[in-house]
């Protein structure tokens, strides 16, 4: 009896979790302009549309540019924030961590309104720069968290050993702690990239037609009409997510063996 409850609820929940994407994504190869089963045949023509029709490829390139820019800047900002915070005392750490992590909990629409207004006043209107600036704030907390986690997880014995040999705290930090925390930086960089690459709400407030990112194009065509190309985009974005998870796994395994 209890087994039946357990397994039936588990199967239902699992199905609910995975089925939508598993059912919908294959339609990217459907040789029909309708998004229904049974499939009429196998085709790559919707991929062809994606790579030739004007808005899609351009917005993919925009997304890549913005995500790379965000990755670099957020790594710098979040990484330096984490290292600086680690060197502070207990209360300093508490306050600074709260500051650096807080953008995660602010609703994106609120950030979008605030940034659209403030960036406009600063004279950085819609464009790559404003998108990178905004996404940096969304991504830096994740870089901060992953670098902090790896810095905190380090074996204190190593640091103590260095200290017993008379190395100063800053010197120890530079030579012992930092190199060991490199996986944290790499993870943070991945987080930053994917955060920016998938972000849509803040970008809706900030992007101009020239800097329109892939999620924005997807969002507006979803409101417009359903064509198989949107499933192609969904599939491509899902593939990026899969690659991301694989990379993350690799990094963690490497981190574990090194520690």
Partner 1 sequence: MQKAPSTLLAAITLLVLPVAVYIALYLLPLISIGGLSVDNGALSTRFPALSAHFSDSAEVDDPAAAALLSDLQAMAKKDRAEVGRMFNQELGGMRSLIIDTGNEADEIVPTVAGLTAFDPRWGDPAIWDVVRRNVEPITWRHFQKATGVKPGADGGYSIAPGDDIYLRILLRTFVIGLQVTLLTLLIGYPLAYAVATGSSRVQAIVLMAVLLSFWTSILVRTTAWVVLLQTNGLLNGFLIWLNLITEPLQLIFNRFGTVVAMTHVLLPFAILPMINVMRTIPPAQAQASRSLGAGPIETFLRVYFPQSLRGVAVGGGTVFILALGFYVTPALTGGPGDQMLSYYIADFVRKGLNWGMASVLSLLLLVCVVGLLVTGALLRRAFGWNKAAKPEAEAA
Partner 2 sequence: MVRHLKLAAVSAVALFAAQAAGARDLVIAGWGGNYQDAQRDAYFQPFATEKGIKFTETTYLGGLAEVKTMADTGDVTWDLVIVEGADLQVGCDEGLFEEIDWDAVPLKDQLVKDAIQPCGVGNVVIGTGLAYNKDTIGEAPANLGDFFNTEKWPGKRAMRTGPKFNLELALMADGVKPEEIYTVMNTPEGIDRAFAKLDTIKKDLQFWDAGAQPVEWLAANNVVMTFSYNARITAAKREGKPLEFLWVNPIYSIDAWAIPANSPNKELAFEFLNYANDAARQAEFSKKMPYGPTNIETPALMSPEDAAELPAGKNIETGLFFSDAFWIDHNDAISERWNNWVTQ
By rule CB under 8 A, what count of residues binds partner 1? 93
Instruction: List interacting residues with partner 2 (CB under 8 A).
Output: 54-55, 58, 65, 68-69, 72-73, 75-76, 116, 120, 123, 125-129, 132, 174, 178, 208-212, 220-221, 223-225
Task: Give DSSP secondary structure letters for 63-108.
Answer: HHHHHHHHHHHHHHHHHHHHHHHHTS-HHHHHHHHHHHHGGGGS-H
C-alpha to C-alpha distance for 36 and 228, rounded to whole angstroms: 10
Least distance in angstroms from the C-beta of 58 to partner 1:
18
Question: Between residues 153 and 209, which has the closer beta carbon with respect to partner 2?
Answer: 209
C-alpha to C-alpha distance for 59 and 65, rounded to whole angstroms: 10
**Of these, 44, 161, 245, 254, which contacts partner 1 (CB under 8 A)?**
245
Question: Between residues 72 and 167, which has the closer beta carbon with respect to partner 2?
Answer: 72
Q: Does residue 57 bind partner 1 (CB under 8 A)?
A: no
Question: Between residues 29 and 46, which has the closer beta carbon with respect to partner 2?
Answer: 46
**Of these, 105, 156, 224, 225, which contacts partner 1 (CB under 8 A)?**
105
- Neighbouring C-beta atoms of residue 243, cutoff 10 Å: 12
**Of these, 21, 39, 61, 95, which contacts partner 1 (CB under 8 A)?**
21
Question: Between residues 67 and 142, which has the closer beta carbon with respect to partner 2?
Answer: 67
Question: Between residues 97 and 136, which has the closer beta carbon with respect to partner 2?
Answer: 136
Q: Does residue 164 bind partner 1 (CB under 8 A)?
A: no
Q: How many CA atoms lie within 13 A of 116 on its CB side?
A: 14
Residue carrying the six token digits 């993870």:
187
SS3 at position 174: helix
With CA atoms as reference, report the closest residue to 233 among 66, 51, 68, 32. Answer: 51
Burial bucket for residue 4 (CB in 10 Å: 0-12, 13-18, 19+): exposed
- 3-state helix, strand and coil shares in percent for the chain, rounded to the nearest 5: 85, 0, 15
**Of these, 26, 45, 154, 244, which contacts partner 1 (CB under 8 A)?**
244
With CA atoms as reference, report the closest residue to 154 among 104, 101, 83. Answer: 83
Which residues in 111-150 contact partner 1 (CB under 8 A)? Answer: 111-119, 121, 133-134, 136-137, 140, 142, 145-146, 149
Which residues in 179-218 contact partner 1 (CB under 8 A)? Answer: 187, 191, 194, 197-198, 200-201, 204-205, 215, 218
């Amino acid at each position: 009896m209890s087994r039946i409850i357990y397994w039936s609820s588990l199967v239902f929940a699992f199905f609910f979790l995975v089925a939508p994407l598993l059912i919908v994504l294959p339609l990217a190869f459907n040789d029909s302009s309708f998004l229904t089963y049974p499939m009429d045949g196998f085709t790559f023509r919707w991929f062809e549309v994606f790579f030739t029709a004007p808005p899609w490829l351009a917005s993919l390139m925009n997304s890549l540019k913005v995500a790379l820019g965000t990755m670099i800047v957020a790594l710098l900002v979040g990484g330096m924030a984490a290292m600086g915070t680690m060197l502070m005392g207990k209360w300093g750490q508490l306050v600074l961590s709260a500051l650096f992590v807080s953008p995660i909990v602010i609703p994106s629409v609120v950030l979008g309104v605030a940034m659209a207004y403030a960036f406009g006043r600063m004279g950085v209107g819609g464009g790559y720069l404003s998108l990178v600036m905004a996404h940096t704030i969304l991504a830096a907390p994740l870089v901060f968290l992953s670098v902090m986690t790896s810095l905190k997880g380090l074996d204190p014995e190593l640091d103590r050993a260095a200290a017993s040999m008379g190395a100063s705290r800053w010197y120890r930090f530079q030579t012992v702690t930092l190199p060991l925390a490199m996986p944290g930086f790499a993870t943070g960089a991945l987080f930053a990239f994917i955060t920016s690459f998938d972000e849509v709400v803040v970008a809706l407030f900030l992007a101009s037609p020239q800097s329109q990112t892939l999620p924005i194009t997807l969002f507006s065509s979803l409101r417009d009409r359903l064509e198989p190309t949107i499933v192609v985009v969904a599939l491509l974005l899902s593939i990026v997510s899969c690659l991301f998870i694989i990379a993350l796994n690799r990094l963690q395994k490497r981190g574990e063996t090194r520690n």
